[in-house]
Structure 1
Amino acid sequence: MDASLETQLRELLDKQAIHDLVNAYCNAADRHDHAKMRALYHEDAIDDHGHFARGPAMEFIDKLPEIQKPMAILHHNVTTVNLKLDGDRAEGEVYILAFHQVKHEGELFDVLIGGRYFDKYEKRAGLWKFSHRAIVADWCYPAHPTQVRLDHPFLHGAYIGEPGPADPSYAFFSLLKRGER
């Protein structure tokens, strides 16, 4: 294999590893899998989630159980991913649609956010992880009361997702495991 092709292959593999990292983050957030979330960041990483937390990512993850407590549904969807590699570091602008169903004062309301993650990644010991992540909101669509109807006849007999280890994915899959990247 010539050097040019080897360089292109390495870049392709690195970009795929970063895509996998970004997708694993969405899964960890939506399933409230804090062990998995912790494994996605370097120990000295920074996370900026606005009023929820700004600073060390591990402190943000420590706060996640309380932050997520009122959230009946979390559903993160990655759309456009722009990545730039520079050796063992990279930067990414990741577009997301994030749906939240939140319980407040006994009532459920919905918040759909269109935004982006501004990410910095580093590959250490051969593994890509977040070194810095910041959330940017581009728009927000709230609905009060909630418009979600999990009892709609169209969903009759379907698996219904939920946060935590009771989600049907954990019984269905044998390779995708809770707490693992």
Structure 2
Amino acid sequence: MTTVKKLSLEEIADRDAIRDLVDAYAFCADTRDAEGQMALFTEDTLFRVFMDERQAEPDQVINSRQDLFPVFDNLNTYTSTMHFNGQSKINLSGDTATGTTYCFAHHLTVDGDNKNLMVATIRYFDEFVKINNAWFFKKRDLKVAWVETKPQHS
């Protein structure tokens, strides 16, 4: 049997703010707001991309907020994207937290009459920090579980 822990108003507010942070990341991605997306991270952030969640070493490592721009700007290669955040688990510890969020990331490419949809299933493993009463990503591991690509018909 699972026991329900009573949360303080501050813990509820922190959990809500962290979920807003996670959702803001997806919103910025889909609206091509690379600068807004970068602002969600600490200056000394660690962002790692694993194109296969089973691999031990990341395919890409970024060690600062400023170096995130090319990663986020790369979304402009797609005609459209849509990220759907699913369940998440957040573990709070004062002004720090860890969390896992599931995501379906849809990427549409149109080349003349050819339309292709690539859907990446992603698990984000995050470390968060609260600075001046605002939550930021301190570390984000993006782990791709699988990718499906299929042609789209009009």
Q: Aligning the two structures, in what range does the TM-score lie when normalised by the shorter sequence?
A: 0.7 to 0.9
Match of 1:169 in 2: none
CA shift, 1:122, in A, is: 0.2
Alignment of 1:104-143 (within 5 A): 107-143=114-150
User: Does structure 1 retain, via aligned residues, the 8 Å contact 2:25–2:40?
Assistant: yes
Deviations 1:7-49 (A, max 9, x none): 6111100000000000100000011101211221111111113
Name the one with the larger strand percent.
2
CA shift, 1:138, in A, is: 1.5
Gaps of at least 5 residues in structure 2 are 1-5, 52-58
Tell me, in whole angstroms, the C-alpha distance in 2 between the residues paired with 1:53 and 1:41.
Answer: 17
Q: Is residue 13 of structure 2 the alignment partner of residue 23 of structure 1? A: no
Work out the percentage of aligned pairs sharing the same amino acid: 26
Match of 1:49 in 2: 49
Distance of aligned partners of 1:137 and 1:87 in 2 relative to their CA distance in 1, 3 Å threshold: same
Tell me, in whole angstroms, the C-alpha distance in 2 between the residues paired with 1:8 and 1:61.
Answer: 37
Q: What is the Cα-based RMSD across aligned positions, in Å?
A: 2.4
Match of 2:152 in 1: 147
Match of 2:55 in 1: none
User: Does structure 1 retain, via aligned residues, the 8 Å contact 2:37–2:72?
Assistant: no
TM-score norm. by structure 1 comes to 0.70
The equivalent position to 1:64 in structure 2, one of 62, 72, 84, is 72
Tell me, in whole angstroms, the C-alpha distance in 1 between the residues paired with 2:90 and 2:117.
Answer: 31
User: Does structure 2 retain, via aligned residues, the 8 Å contact 1:70–1:104?
Assistant: no
**Ranges of 4+ aligned residues in structure 1 off by more than 6 Å:** none
Determine which structure has more spread, i.e. the larger CA radius of gyration. 1
Match of 2:32 in 1: 32
Distance of aligned partners of 1:64 and 1:86 in 2 relative to their CA distance in 1, 3 Å threshold: same
CA shift, 1:139, in A, is: 2.0
Gaps of at least 5 residues in structure 1 are 150-181
* Amino acid of the structure 1 residue aligned with 2:46: I
Deviations 1:122-154 (A, max 9, x none): 0011110000111111122111xx3164xxxxx
TM-score norm. by structure 2 comes to 0.81
